[in-house]
Structure 1
Amino acid sequence: MNKDQLLQKYLDHSLTEEEKTLLEKEIKENPDFQRELEEAYNLRKAIIAHKKEELKSTFKTLEQPKKRPFITKLISYGVAASVFISILIVVYFLINSPVSNEALFAENFEPYRNIITPIERSEESAHNKSQEYLAFYEYETGNYETALLEFTRLYESEKTSYYLFYKAICELQLDKVDAAIGTFLIHQKLNDTFKEKGKWYLALAYLKNNDIVKCKLLLEEVIKHKSYNYTKAKKVLESITTN
């Protein structure tokens, strides 16, 4: 299946589990594809808005009295009613087509940036460096499997809390959602400077896992305290509440 087909099925909310996996893989391997999804989603919203305007115009036309023979009026109203019903059906399905939790996750998730160890962008720079440097080097270059192993080892040996945060991000990126949730929950008990960021990512992990009750509770907490990504949290909460 090519990218265009995946994109269309994503907008129609008709992806199979296998196709969802392909979509996630495409997003991970091709950052530009994420932008294409967002542009297509925004276009869809614009179409809905346009259809609403058409609907308003149709109402105005129907409301304007015109002096015509009775039969002509009936025919005219019949045609207008048919057009109106057709537009109404299109608008209804466009508006009421639910956005999947998977799509919401894909729209809002991106790995948190490395703010711990500055990385030199060259292959040779990773040699003869500390284990922490190597972990963040793999993280920044997208080698999340290796980064996950390194962050796990680092936390086991040093118990530094932010290693857990980045470990959980790697797990979420690798679609190890249950593991990510478990790691984020442990991290939430440690009260470091990444705790509020962890709440946002834990909410996304619950969203991806279709645990909407826990997702909503965390999003409400993020919004209440205006913590990390609270404006995005508002939009996600609105989407899952209206779906």
Structure 2
Amino acid sequence: MMEHEELIQGYFKQSLSEADSQKVIRLLKDDAEFKAAFETYQEMHMAFKKAEYDNLKAQLQAVESKISEQTKPWYSQPWLRYAAASVLVIALGVNFFFGGSDNLYDDYFETYPNVYQPVIRGAASTSISDAFVFYENGEFEQAAASFKQLLEDQDDINLKFYRAMALLNAGDTQQALPLLEQLSETAFEFQAESKWYLALTYLKLDQTEKAKPLLEQMDAIDAEFKAEQRSSILKEI
């Protein structure tokens, strides 16, 4: 029998059998300790991918800089360098005075993983699995539409949460906001997560006065979820 750590690693490597994939789904729903370990591994996996991306980006920028020096681009002209610097200073000033809360949203927002019904590769397709396939593949507009259609037939609060997540990732704050406001006031599996994403949405909308109490309330619901990030944001707002 596979240990929990092997199951989690196998899920992210997409190497599990269908039976073991079904076991992961059951454990995520029934075993809080397994779910916590799964989410921790997910965060580490995402952080590793981001580090890889940042490293590649830095290498490409170094190559671009070297090429630019060799080809003497337009900004080798002194007056053009001064003009570019002036534009940069103005842009930074605008960002400092008008973009603070929105920047916090960008800094702290990340896609919430599918821990409700992980996709089993090769399994028979269903309406719910199709919606989560869209979600896991980053096709968030299609995912949001699929979740909406599912909710017309069943009032599943967990699907409402993932519809809100899909809408946020698709950039549709207007539709996501009322859903998150409803979910954050409802006691269910993802209430703490709903409050977190609602607080981030308020920050994006420059409604800091609404975001702050939400972040403070989360201690009473889930002292662990995004605790470090919450503390950092509360120091900045």
Mapped to 2, the partners of 1:34 and 1:168 lie a distance apart of 29
Q: Secondary structure at the match of 1:217?
A: helix
Q: How has the CA–CA distance of structure 1 residues 238 and 224 changed in structure 2, closer, same or farther, with 3 Å as cutoff?
A: farther
Mapped to 1, the partners of 2:144 and 2:227 lie a distance apart of 27
The offset of 1:120, in angstroms, is 3.8
Map of 1:161 onto structure 2 = 157
Mapped to 2, the partners of 1:202 and 1:236 lie a distance apart of 14
Unaligned runs of 5+ residues in structure 1 are: 1-30, 41-92
- Residue 108 of structure 1 contacts residue 232 of structure 1 at CA under 8 Å; is this kept in 2? yes
Map of 1:182 onto structure 2 = 178
Picking from 214, 218, 224, the partner of 1:218 is 214
Mapped to 2, the partners of 1:208 and 1:136 lie a distance apart of 26
- Residue 181 of structure 1 contacts residue 205 of structure 1 at CA under 8 Å; is this kept in 2? yes
- Residue 207 of structure 1 contacts residue 215 of structure 1 at CA under 8 Å; is this kept in 2? yes
The offset of 1:166, in angstroms, is 0.7
1:238 maps onto 2:235 in alignment: yes
The offset of 1:118, in angstroms, is 2.4
Q: How has the CA–CA distance of structure 1 residues 199 and 227 changed in structure 2, closer, same or farther, with 3 Å as cutoff?
A: farther
The offset of 1:203, in angstroms, is 0.5
- Residue 114 of structure 2 contacts residue 136 of structure 2 at CA under 8 Å; is this kept in 1? yes
Map of 2:225 onto structure 1 = 228
Q: How has the CA–CA distance of structure 1 residues 177 and 33 changed in structure 2, closer, same or farther, with 3 Å as cutoff?
A: farther
Please give the residue correspondences for 1:29-40 in structure 2 after superposition, counting only pairs within 5 Å.
Answer: 32=50, 36=54
Amino acid paired to 1:118: P
Mapped to 2, the partners of 1:117 and 1:217 lie a distance apart of 31
The offset of 1:224, in angstroms, is 5.0
What is the aligned-residue identity percentage? 27
Encode CA deviations 1:33-83: one digit per residue, 9 max, x unaligned.
99649x99xxxxxxxxxxxxxxxxxxxxxxxxxxxxxxxxxxxxxxxxxxx
Map of 2:198 onto structure 1 = 202
Mapped to 2, the partners of 1:189 and 1:200 lie a distance apart of 12
Q: Secondary structure at the match of 2:135?
A: helix
Map of 1:104 onto structure 2 = 104
Q: Secondary structure at the match of 1:172?
A: helix
TM-score (norm 2): 0.56
- Residue 101 of structure 1 contacts residue 210 of structure 1 at CA under 8 Å; is this kept in 2? yes
The offset of 1:153, in angstroms, is 1.3
Mapped to 2, the partners of 1:165 and 1:199 lie a distance apart of 11
Encode CA deviations 1:159-193: one digit per residue, 9 max, x unaligned.
01011111111111122112211011122343211
Mapped to 2, the partners of 1:106 and 1:227 lie a distance apart of 21
- Which of 1 and 2 has greater Rg? 1
TM-score (norm 1): 0.55
Amino acid paired to 2:115: I
Please give the residue correspondences for 1:126-165 in structure 2 after superposition, counting only pairs within 5 Å.
Answer: 128-165=124-161
The offset of 1:230, in angstroms, is 2.0
Q: Secondary structure at the match of 2:188?
A: coil
Higher relative contact order (CA 8 A, sep 6+): 2
Q: How has the CA–CA distance of structure 1 residues 34 and 177 changed in structure 2, closer, same or farther, with 3 Å as cutoff?
A: farther
Amino acid paired to 2:138: G
Mapped to 2, the partners of 1:172 and 1:108 lie a distance apart of 13
Unaligned runs of 5+ residues in structure 2 are: 1-48, 59-91
